[in-house]
Amino acid sequence: MDRFLEMKTFNAVVDAGSFVKAADALEMSKAAVSRYVVEMETRLGVRLLHRTTRRLSLTDEGLVFYARSKELLAELQEAEDEITSRSKAASGLLRINAPFTFGIIHLAPLWGLFRERNPQVTLDITLADRVVDLVEEGYDVAIRIALLESSTLVSKKLASTRIVLCASPQYLEAHGIPRHPGELAQHAVISYSYSSTKDEWRFVGPEGPVNVKTKPSIHTNNGDTCRAAALSNQGIILQPTFLVGKDLSEGTLVELMPEYRAVDLGIYAVYPTRKHVSAKVRALIDFLTAHFSELGPSW
């Protein structure tokens, strides 16, 4: 006997509340439905259902088996859906949201290659640094750079990026080099408005956690503006290496207090659900995962 068919039949009976309704839903005879449930009870050696002429109810053992079998059937369906989505050609409109700077520097060069591999997919790409509501705003996938909190969304980590404290050599020559985070309160800083800690900058150093309340001379909701201000000798910034890495290697920006580390952030692809993942979403996740794995886990 097919155990999954037995479980499917049993679940249908419980969900429908009767053998007749379950038979209609499964397009089987009532006798076949009854036989599957009885044979399963006989094999398990327990009664799963209380039967009367008016109603059905679950026994204690039936309650446990119903919950567990429902999970197993859902996992089986999820596995089948995943394989089906992988076997189908990706197609249709794919709406993607990504942070502005990261989207320009690191994602824009990839879309041509993705389209070459998935020519039936039409891309609709929106760049915004605010956190969008995927379900409410109708996005299929979003790229997020964050300490990802628990969420109803599904996430796939692509890489990590380090947040570094830096300034131009000219600024440091004019205003001095801070040696401890506490000294930042006396310096001009350029603040990123979407930072989760706002104007309080947090570090972990030799003595443990250190928090400092900064007094920004410039507020902006865009990382490129932070970088441009720092390159124009306007102050100190706290920005990710994916944005300022080249500046640091070329010496146009200088890292400060490397012994005091700010948080490392994950770069994630997030999407609404594991269930019924479409071929186009699966294709994008696989494509981005392969690309960023070649670059290394952190940059």
- Whichever domain contains 48, its CATH number is 1.10.10.10
Question: Mean pLDDT over residues 16-43, rounded?
Answer: 89
275 and 256 share a domain?
no
Tokens 């389209």 label which residue? 115
Question: Residue 136: what pLDDT?
Answer: 86
| Residue 188 is assigned to a structural domain of this protein | yes
Question: Residue 96: what pLDDT?
Answer: 96
Q: Which of 32, 61, 87 is the last residue of a domain?
A: 87
Q: Who contacts 236 (Cβ-Cβ below 8 Å, separation ≥6)?
A: 165, 166, 167, 171, 178, 184, 187, 188, 189, 190, 230, 256
| Residue 295 is assigned to a structural domain of this protein | no
Average pLDDT, the chain: 89
- Strand, helix or coil for residue 236: strand
147 and 17 share a domain?
no
181 and 217 share a domain?
yes
193 and 259 share a domain?
yes
| Residue 125 is assigned to a structural domain of this protein | yes
Candidate ranges 148-162, 198-212, 242-256, 267-281; pick with highest mean pLDDT: 242-256
257 and 186 share a domain?
yes
Question: Mean pLDDT over residues 75-100, rounded?
Answer: 79
Question: Residue 84: what pLDDT?
Answer: 60
Flag whether pLDDT at 297 surpasses 60: no
CATH of the domain at 245: 3.40.190.290
N-term to C-term CA, the chain: 54
| Residue 17 is assigned to a structural domain of this protein | yes
Question: Residue 275: what pLDDT?
Answer: 64
Cβ-contact 256, 166 below 8 angstroms:
yes
pLDDT digits over 117-132, tens only?
Answer: 999 999 999 999 888 8
C-alpha dist (Å) from residue 265 to 88, 145, 261: 34, 6, 12
Flag whether pLDDT at 85 surpasses 70: no
- Of 72, 268, 77, the C-alpha closest to 154 is 268
| Residue 276 is assigned to a structural domain of this protein | yes
pLDDT digits over 40-55, tens only?
Answer: 899 889 999 988 877 8
Q: What share of the chain is helix, strand, coil (3-state, %, to 5)?
A: 45, 25, 30
108 and 66 share a domain?
no
Give the pairing of strands 208-213 and 200-205.
antiparallel
Cβ-contact 13, 19 below 8 angstroms:
yes
**Cβ atoms < 10 Å from Cβ of 110:** 14
249 and 285 share a domain?
no
C-alpha dist (Å) from residue 96 to 127, 128, 237, 285: 8, 11, 29, 11
| Residue 296 is assigned to a structural domain of this protein | no
For residue 81, name the pLDDT band (cuts at 50, 70, 90): low
Flag whether pLDDT at 276 surpasses 90: no
Question: Residue 274: what pLDDT?
Answer: 64
Residue 72's domain spans which residues? Answer: 3-87
180 and 253 share a domain?
yes
- What residue ranges in the chain does DSSP mark as E strands? 49-51, 56-58, 92-98, 121-127, 141-146, 154-167, 189-192, 200-205, 208-213, 216-220, 237-240, 254-255, 264-271
The percent of residues above 70 in pLDDT, for the chain, comes to 93
Tokens 């980590």 label which residue? 157
Question: Residue 163: what pLDDT?
Answer: 93
98 and 186 share a domain?
no
173 and 137 share a domain?
no
For residue 151, name the pLDDT band (cuts at 50, 70, 90): low
Total tally of structural domains belonging to the chain: 3
Q: Which of 63, 87, 111 is the last residue of a domain?
A: 87
Q: Who contacts 255 (Cβ-Cβ below 8 Å, separation ≥6)?
A: 164, 165, 166, 248
Question: Mean pLDDT over residues 91-98, rounded?
Answer: 94
pLDDT digits over 220-264, tens only?
Answer: 989 999 999 999 999 999 999 999 999 999 999 999 999 999 988
| Residue 132 is assigned to a structural domain of this protein | yes
Cβ-contact 164, 255 below 8 angstroms:
yes
Flag whether pLDDT at 162 surpasses 80: yes
Q: Which of 87, 110, 126 is the last residue of a domain?
A: 87
146 and 285 share a domain?
yes
